[in-house]
Amino acid sequence: MNKLTKGVLFSGGLVLGLTLLATMGLADDQAAPAAEAAAPAAAAAPAAPPPHLDTGHTAWMLASVALVLLMTIPGLSLFYAGMVRKKNILATMMQSWVITCIVTVAWFIVGYSLAFHGDLPWIGDLSAFFLQSFVDADQGTTVSKILWAPGADANGGAIPESVNMMFQMTFAIITPALITGSLADRMKFSALCLFMVLWSVIVYSTVAHWVWSPNGMLGAGWGVLDFAGGTVVHINSGVAGLVGCLVMGKRKGLGQENFAPHNIAYSLIGAALLWVGWFGFNAGSALTSDGRAGMAMTVTQIATATASLSWMFAEWIVKGKPSALGAASGAVAGLVAITPASGYVGPIGSFVIGIAAGVICFWGTTGLKKMFGYDDSLDAFGVHAVGGVVGALLTGVFALKGVCGTSGWIEGNFGQVIIQIEGIVTVIVFDVIASYIIYKVVDMIVGLRVTEEVEIEGLDINLHGEIVHG
């Protein structure tokens, strides 16, 4: 039995053991008397109060917008740049930068409207085209009275729709930026720009509508639980990245040349910025500054720290040494996995999710990648798709009625796990088909990959006319 197998078996046994303990403890606390289940239905609840502007919620959401934008520039930009070779650092950072700009424009023109407006369950409409729905018809000015009613709290406190639009824009920005981790070192800049605008509008806006729109078929319709983007952001981007690296093929010299990261310190700084920004990502997804946001923040911290440790120990067992990049990657894996669960689980659930994420994503970036032989350059698939699936599935296990109003398997509702699986499979199938078509269309128009000479000499000097000195 080799070291990798021993490490995976050891870590898997630890996950199963802790899961059993968590299940036993929570079952005692959460069991409801049979008499309560048989009690007559309570009187109909009073009608919800009309939405009104809540300045506390709005202040928190404004801060969350800045935190989530920080995740892409500079967080993800530095995280990815540190893992490539010196000759491709600027090109890698430029990808995150230009995606931020491209998606901002696409989102305000049409993306937001397709994702969050309209009555159809599978796609939105153009009622917010160029954000015209934000303009008061009588005064001709944008006013704070236009609120995002679906995000209102029990007392009717809500945020301006412009703030919701900006918050969701930051998610739309980082999702395609994550894809570049699978495509590093070999994609044309022109192809990247064209692909990202098409993918953002066609794929991201569609999946966001399915999961988060008040009328979406997966969230509102099927009951899929995804608080902050396990399917919409992470599975979506990771699968698109895998499709891209398979379409383009492996990097030149892989397995023969030194592909060691140029500056792991960049990656550690980037991971730290991602960790901090993720509090806006997860806790901000409550759209309110209340107890649910506080719990989302709590479970995010627990899962992230735990995943960093579980990855570190798994790597230590298998490879003999714990690496700094591994610890940082484990933290990102924990952030990914807790994302769909952050508004639905409690501290024990987040602890188990963190353990599972660290171990399974470590295997996803080593054993799984080696098994199938694909060149997922910076492990966007191994961390984001694999971690997103782990988190989405375990959301169905550990969801607590006392936190979100919906029980998971741990409280006897195995059906929620089935619903989660249906949502995961639906997103993956759509993403594979749509992303493949977009890659092929872009390849026909401008070509996807740089020439072998450009790839060997470096993208920085050939695509952008600049180099990193020192």
Residue spans per domain, the chain: 3-25+53-464
- Residue 245 is predicted with a pLDDT of 97
Residue 317 and residue 115 in contact, taking contact as beta carbons nearer than 8 Å: no
pLDDT band at 49 (very low <50, low <70, confident <90, very high): confident
Per-residue pLDDT band at 125 (split at 50, 70, 90)? very high
pLDDT of residue 12: 44
Q: How confident is the model at residue 146 (pLDDT cuts 50, 70, 90)?
A: confident
Average pLDDT over residues 97-123: 97
Q: The tokens of 8 are what?
A: 């995976």
pLDDT band per the 50, 70, 90 thresholds, residue 37 = very low
Q: What does the pLDDT read at residue 24?
A: 36
**C-alpha distance from residue 406 to each of 199, 338, 391, 403 (Å):** 32, 17, 16, 8
The answer, yes or no, to whether residue 351 has pLDDT greater than 60, is yes
Residue 178 pLDDT > 90? yes
List Cα–Cα distances, 145 to 18, 64, 129, in angstroms: 48, 21, 19
Report, as an integer, the average pLDDT of 108-126.
97
What integer pLDDT is reported at residue 96 of this predicted model?
A: 98
pLDDT over 60 at 230, yes or no: yes
pLDDT bracket for residue 21 (50, 70, 90): very low
pLDDT, residue 7, reads 42
Question: What gap in Å lies between CA 185 and CA 140, rounded to an integer?
Answer: 48
Fold of 3-25+53-464: Ammonium transporter fold (1.10.3430)
Q: Is the dihedral of CA 432, 435, 439, 445 positive or negative?
A: positive
Pick from 150-154, 322-326, 376-380, 414-418: least confident: 150-154
Residue 143 has what pLDDT?
Answer: 56
Omega of the bond leading into 74 within 30 degrees of 0 (cis): yes
Task: Output the six-digit token pair for 466.
Answer: 């600049």
Q: Which range among 76-90, 93-107, 131-145, 434-448 shows the weakest confidence by mean pLDDT?
A: 131-145
The distance in angstroms from the start CA to the end CA of the chain is 45
Percent of the chain with pLDDT over 90: 83
**C-alpha distances in Å from residue 242, one per residue of 181, 301, 400, 460:** 10, 28, 33, 24
Residue 5 has pLDDT above 90, yes or no: no
Q: What is the pLDDT of residues 299-333, one digit of tens each?
A: 999 999 999 999 999 999 999 999 999 999 999 99
Q: Please, which contacts does 219-225 make with residues 24 or more away whose CB atoms are closer than 8 Å? A: 220/121, 221/121, 222/419, 222/422, 222/423, 223/406, 223/416, 223/419, 224/419, 224/420, 224/422, 224/423, 225/340, 225/341, 225/344, 225/392, 225/395, 225/396, 225/399, 225/404, 225/406, 225/416, 225/419, 225/420
Closest CA to 234 of 350, 110, 335: 335
Question: 141 falls in which pLDDT band (50, 70, 90)?
Answer: low
CA distance 196 to 203: 10
